[in-house]
Amino acid sequence: MPRPFINTLAEVRAGDAIDDLDADLAALVAAVRHTGKSGELTLKITVKPASKGDIVTLMVTDDIKTKLPRLDKGATVFFADDTGGLTRRDPRQGEIVLRAVDDPTQPIRTLEAQQ
C-alpha cells in the first residue's frame, strides 16, 4: 500500500506547504464569510525525475493558488462638461450658495400649534 498522501504532503518543503495551505484556507474562509461569495483554494503537485534517466529520485513541488472573493465595487457618478472633462457637479444645474446663519441678537421664536 502506498504511503498516505497527507504524510507525504507534510514533508513537502519541510512542512511549509502545509503551513501555507493552513494560512491560505483561513484567509479564504474569512473572505467568504465577509463577502458571502465563493472562493477557491487549489493545490497542484508536480512530480518529475531529479535527473534524466533517474526514475527513483524524484523532485516534488507544490503550487498553491487562492482565489479570494471580493466585495463588489461601487460606481461614482460624474458629469461631462463642455471641454470633455469629468466633474462631480452637474454643469446644467445652478449652484445654491449656502451660508451659516448665527445671529444671537434675534430671539428664538416658537409657534404654538392650533387645534
Within-domain flag for 43: yes
> Quick one: cell of 16?
511549509
pLDDT band at 88 (very low <50, low <70, confident <90, very high): very high
Within-domain flag for 59: yes
The CA distance from 14 to 89, in Å, is 59
The total number of structural domains in the chain stands at: 1
Predicted confidence (pLDDT) per residue in 27-79, tens digit: 999 999 999 999 999 999 999 999 999 999 999 999 999 999 999 999 999 99
Q: Which domain holds residue 10?
A: 5-67
Within-domain flag for 57: yes
The CA distance from 5 to 90, in Å, is 63
Overall pTM surpassing 0.95 (yes/no): no
Within-domain flag for 83: no
Three-state DSSP class for 68?
coil
Within-domain flag for 31: yes
